[in-house]
Amino acid sequence: MDRISFIKIDIYLKKNVKFACKVEYDGCGYAGWQSQKNIATIQDELEKSISYVANHQVKITTAGRTDAGVHATSAVFHFETPKHRDKKSWIFGINSNLPADIKIKKIFQVSNDFDARFSAITRSYRYILLQSLSSSPILNKKVYWIRTKLDLEKMQKGANYLIGEHNFNAYRTSQCQAKHAIRNIHKITITKNKNLVYVDITANAFLHNMIRIIVGCLLQIGTGNKKPIWIDEILKLQQRNHIGETTPPYGLYFVGVEYPKKYKIDNKITLPFL
């Protein structure tokens, strides 16, 4: 029996350990999270690096798949391995084999019943708008630039109609593969710091492009093109063709996932330094 066969037997006989990881990444250079052939993705880069450190093929499961150009400060995924290493060794080893725009920030050993996707209680995102007469080269592809002054109070009134459990069919793309559009938005807050406007949203889960469509609708209200009640009217119509623009992906950040306390995962939201 050759050495490779011995390694495979050794991996099979050892009991798997499950880890949850928090990862930060700049999504500009990738075609989104999900693995794709012949194109760079976040998932592929992570699996390649973890597999190298673990010395066997590793597959990862994420709490939420981001689209091309979307960033993350605290996305969560899990993987299993029979390899036993301390947390620092995992972080240093994985990060040393990752590109500069993807890095593991924290790692937690979790019980076998943990699942990054199905164990999640809520997911949180932040969308950042730059309200300025001119765009910012430094913040290029990190925020969505708008020239028009926004009425944040009216935007918040419109956003409040979305809080709670609703059918968000009007707020997803035609390519969305979710079986149903029922989602529960726990909170939406709109705040401003100097010339940056933040739209923070937390829900049990999101549909494809849901947040970017919502932000696009809120901009219609903020610029005075629509009244706050329009958000509720579209929600009740459940027809996508009545909605305005979908904002670009690069203003969006995946900032946190909440899990039950029994898993002992840090549920702290990590906001971008903007």
Q: Is 67 a catalytic residue?
A: yes
Which tokens belong to 40? 């760079």
Residue 166: count of CB within 10 angstroms of its CB: 19
Residue 161, token pair as written in the block: 């109609």
Amino acid residing at 66: T
Catalytic residue among 67, 101, 115, 266: 67
State how far the Cα of 225 lies from the Cα of 8, in Å rounded to an integer: 63
Kindly list the catalytic residues.
67
